[in-house]
Amino acid sequence: MFNWIKTAVLMAGITALFGIVGAAIGGQQGMLLALGFALLSNFFAYWFSDRMVLKMYNAREVDEASAPQFYRMVQELAQRAELPMPRVYLIDEDAPNAFATGRNPQHAAVAATTGILRALSAAELRGVMAHELAHVKHRDILISTVSATMAGAISALANFAMFFGGRDAEGRPGNPIAGIAVAILAPFAAMLIQMAISRSREFEADRLGAEIADDPAALASALDKIHRFAQGMPIAAAERHPETAQMMIMNPLSGGGLRGLFSTHPATEERVDRLMQMAAARPGTRR
């Protein structure tokens, strides 16, 4: 129930941003048109955003014949998590990362870069994919995928406002400086809405993922390794579509400027510490 509340809050917040940007472009009429566009975008994002994101990353679907070890790993973890088998994708990128997408567990997909398959041990990779399946089980995938699509639409609409100017409530040309401000602040506000929901999701997915894989220390090791390997190896698709960064297990952006300050992910050190505390509390663990 709480995830549905979070989704409703996210939708409401970003829909309100559509109205603000629309008002800046064309006054009251622009606001109404933008809200109509927001409703259509919400509908489109619910049904098709997962395909859009996978296409952005040039992900290719694999099966038991084309990627037997990886596919069977996901299959085994899905059974442990009591989930339907998701579609499985690989992304030809050296940077190690992974994400899950889809509107519900029955229409889910998990994707990993070829770099993460090379960088991690089998136990570490199990931890990462279990983390992604935890997002599926919690139905976070709808929130993250829809928010990525909607934030991208907000950015496009805000850029339209900057280049074509705005109108006041009476339809007169607006202040061009205000249009520029909207173009900057609207995507920023959309990012803050994503952040408010995304950070807490990662801690919970780490916890449940560690339980699904039955190895908190392996997931902690994977996160530490991804953090070290990924520095200086940004993913080109993520740089072109930064609104999708919050879907990844680790922030894939280069991290400069505001992107590093306002990360959608918690500090890796804190995530690792929590998982190691979880590992230490397991029966039979030496202290």
Half-sphere exposure in the Cβ direction for 93 (13 Å, CA): 26
Q: Is residue 248 part of a domain?
A: yes
For residue range 67-125, what is the model confidence (pLDDT) as tens digits? 999 999 999 999 999 999 999 999 999 999 999 999 899 999 999 999 999 999 999 99
Provide the pLDDT for residue 22.
67
Alpha helices in 63-215 (DSSP H): 68-80, 114-119, 122-137, 140-164, 176-213
How many domains does the chain contain in total?
1
Q: Is residue 27 part of a domain?
A: yes
Tell me the three state secondary structure of residue 123: helix
Provide the pLDDT for residue 179.
55
Q: For residues 60 and 256, give the distance between their C-alpha atoms in angstroms, rounded to a whole number.
A: 30
Q: Strands of 87-91's sheet, edge to edge?
A: 60-62, 87-91, 108-113, 98-102
Pairing of strands 87-91, 60-62: antiparallel
Average pLDDT score over residue span 35-55: 77
Q: Is residue 287 part of a domain?
A: no
Residues 6+ apart with CB under 8 A from 117: 70, 90, 125
Say how many C-beta atoms besides its own lie within 10 A of residue 199's C-beta: 15
Task: Please choose, from the candidates 259, 222, 70, 46, the residue with its C-alpha nearest in 3D space to the C-alpha of residue 141.
Answer: 46
Q: Which residue has the tokens 């800046």?
A: 24
Alpha helices in 231-267 (DSSP H): 236-240, 258-261
Highest mean pLDDT among 202-216, 239-253, 255-269: 202-216
Report how far Cα 222 is from the mean position of its chain's Cα atoms: 19
End-to-end Cα, the chain, rounded Å? 38
Q: For residues 174 and 29, give the distance between their C-alpha atoms in angstroms, rounded to a whole number.
A: 14
Domain range for residue 191? Answer: 2-280
pLDDT at 223 over 70: yes
Q: Is residue 111 part of a domain?
A: yes
Average pLDDT score over residue span 137-164: 68
Q: Would you please indicate which residues are annotated as catalytic (active-site) residues?
A: 132
Name the pTM for this structure: 0.77
